[in-house]
Chain A
Amino acid sequence: MTLAAAFGLGLAATIFALQGDPGFNAVKLGPWLLWPRLGSADIDPYARAWLALDGAAPLGAGEGLSFVAREDQNGAKLDSRCDYIIAGATPSARVWTLTAYDVNGRLRPNPAGRYGLISTRLLRSGDGAFVIEAAREARPGNWLPLGQKSRFVLIFRAYDANASATTSGFEGLAMPSITRGACS
């Protein structure tokens, strides 16, 4: 009986610990989350277990930084029935990409065959500013297509980013805002 209870409790604790986010020490920048240790040798055991279940190979600390957003600027869950404007400052990096996934990390099929945006090919105004529109229907300009499933996740990857791998180094980092527009 004790053994069974111990097994059940242990299992429950393990499942609970590995749901949601990869471990501790998240850095939050507006709606964006970053786990700096996920890409370094001092990754914690919980993050390692989480990663093994997830099956991804995230950017190493020397490759760049990847930021995840599941919510908009106001804290509402991202929903592809709505339109979003993504604009503002970006961290200093050699190149960055922005990609929309379903919650399981799959790219979302869309008629345009466009799965993400890359900083080098964005349309920008004279001063270098950009506006990205994320929506199901095609938009002129920097359109990030959203798939049919309502829940989605955005990942912003800053390659060769100019930031140290310590938590304090991220405080001055600027990330674009995610503002919800009209919903259908």
Chain B
Amino acid sequence: MNWRRQRLDRALAIAPWILGGIFGAIAQHLIAILALPTLAPSSFYNRMAARLPLGEVALPPNPAHSAEAGATSAAESGAYPFADPFATLALCRFDLRDGPLRVRAASDGERLFAVSVRLADGTPFYSVTERQSPKGQFNILLVTQAQADDLDEANQDEPGQPLEATTQKKNDAADDERQDASEPAEPAASRAEPADELRLIVPKPRGFVLFRVLSLRESDYAETAARRSTISCTPEKLEP
């Protein structure tokens, strides 16, 4: 009887350790899965975007050229894996902690032009092609929830003011390019969003905007890369 009791005691003494081990393993696994997207140096954001100055538009190397150069690894060629040889990429980084980012781009009406907003952890938060954009032009303002609230508040602050003043105030806050969009003092212009602006509330402050232009043939790369001149990413300041 006594030896049985002893064995039970021993088993009971080990049990917490085994349970602890299992829970530890699960915890470690979950932490690894959740931390990898931001920590992995191989992620698209960490390799291509993390070191870009705000406002700069970068053009990753042509994947076909990297292949011809006989690069043995993606890291060596500066390229990214599973690149479509017909797609030319451009990207810019955003960090909304300092203020919103205005993204502008124009398609040539012929080549497919896609814009996607991705978080630093790789989440493709928003994506669209020029077909779904008015006149094939992109005018996207990336903001955090707090910045969106500030913008709305700024517009509701003076309900008694004539429309002119609201428009003026808005123009002060925005860059010059926005002026023509908001010039007509229509009811729509009294809101913070000009008709062609898409205001996107981004759930996390850091990430990148990816532009994808599809060539009509592979040798089109240079022509397509020229589309980059239509792309701008401009950090904006909110009025205090």
Instruction: Write the residues of chain A forming the contact surface with B, with a CB cutoff of 8 angstroms.
Output: 1-3, 5-11, 13-14, 17-18, 38-41, 43, 45-46, 48-49, 51-64, 94-95, 97, 99, 101, 104-109, 113-116, 118, 120-121, 155, 157, 159-160
In angstroms, Cα B40 to Cα A121, docked, is 38
Is the CB–CB distance between A60 and B21 below 8 Å? no
Is the CB–CB distance between A108 and B33 below 8 Å? no
Is the CB–CB distance between A46 and B42 below 8 Å? no
B85 contact from A6, A18, A99, Cβ within 8 A: A99
Residue B124 interfacial (CB < 8 Å): yes
Is the CB–CB distance between A114 and B121 below 8 Å? no
Residue B64 interfacial (CB < 8 Å): yes
Shortest beta-carbon distance, B70 to chain A, in Å?
A: 6
In angstroms, Cα B64 to Cα A175, docked, is 26
In angstroms, Cα B47 to Cα A144, docked, is 30
When distances are taken between beta carbons in the complex, the residues of chain A under 8 Å from B25 are 5-10, 13
In angstroms, Cα B27 to Cα A7, docked, is 9
Is the CB–CB distance between A106 and B29 below 8 Å? no
**0/1 per residue, B1-38, Cβ < 8 Å to A?**
00000000000000001101111111111001110111
Shortest beta-carbon distance, A159 to chain B, in Å?
A: 5
Residue B86 interfacial (CB < 8 Å): yes
In angstroms, Cα B63 to Cα A71, docked, is 24
In angstroms, Cα B80 to Cα A54, docked, is 9
Residue B216 interfacial (CB < 8 Å): yes
Instruction: Write the residues of chain B forming the contact surface with A, with a CB cutoff of 8 angstroms.
Output: 17-18, 20-29, 32-34, 36-40, 42-44, 47, 63-64, 66-68, 70-71, 73-74, 79-87, 89, 112, 114, 116, 118, 121-129, 131-132, 210, 212, 214-218
Is the CB–CB distance between A157 and B129 below 8 Å? no
User: Which of A18, A48, A52, A115 has its CB near the most chain B CB atoms (within 10 A)?
Assistant: A52
Shortest beta-carbon distance, A93 to chain B, in Å?
A: 10
When distances are taken between beta carbons in the complex, the residues of chain B under 8 Å from A118 are 86, 215-217
User: Which of A10, A41, A95 has its CB near the most chain B CB atoms (within 10 A)?
Assistant: A10
Q: List 25 A-B contacts (CB under 8 A).
A: A2-B21, A6-B22, A9-B22, A9-B29, A13-B29, A18-B36, A39-B127, A41-B126, A45-B34, A48-B36, A48-B37, A52-B42, A55-B80, A57-B89, A59-B212, A60-B126, A62-B128, A63-B128, A97-B84, A97-B86, A105-B74, A109-B70, A113-B64, A116-B86, A159-B112
Is the CB–CB distance between B64 and A115 below 8 Å? yes
In angstroms, Cα B26 to Cα A14, docked, is 10
In angstroms, Cα B24 to Cα A97, docked, is 46
Known: A51-B37, A55-B81. A63 touches B129 (CB 8 A): yes
Shortest beta-carbon distance, A149 to chain B, in Å?
A: 12
Query: Can you add 18 more A-B contacts, CB < 8 Å, to A43-B123, A60-B124?
Result: A2-B21, A5-B24, A6-B24, A7-B28, A10-B32, A11-B32, A17-B29, A41-B124, A41-B126, A49-B34, A51-B37, A52-B40, A53-B36, A56-B44, A62-B127, A64-B129, A97-B86, A118-B217
User: Which of B80, B118, B214 has its CB near the most chain A CB atoms (within 10 A)?
Assistant: B214
Is the CB–CB distance between B118 and A55 below 8 Å? no
Is the CB–CB distance between A55 and B216 below 8 Å? no
User: Which of A53, A97, A106, A160 has its CB near the most chain B CB atoms (within 10 A)?
Assistant: A106
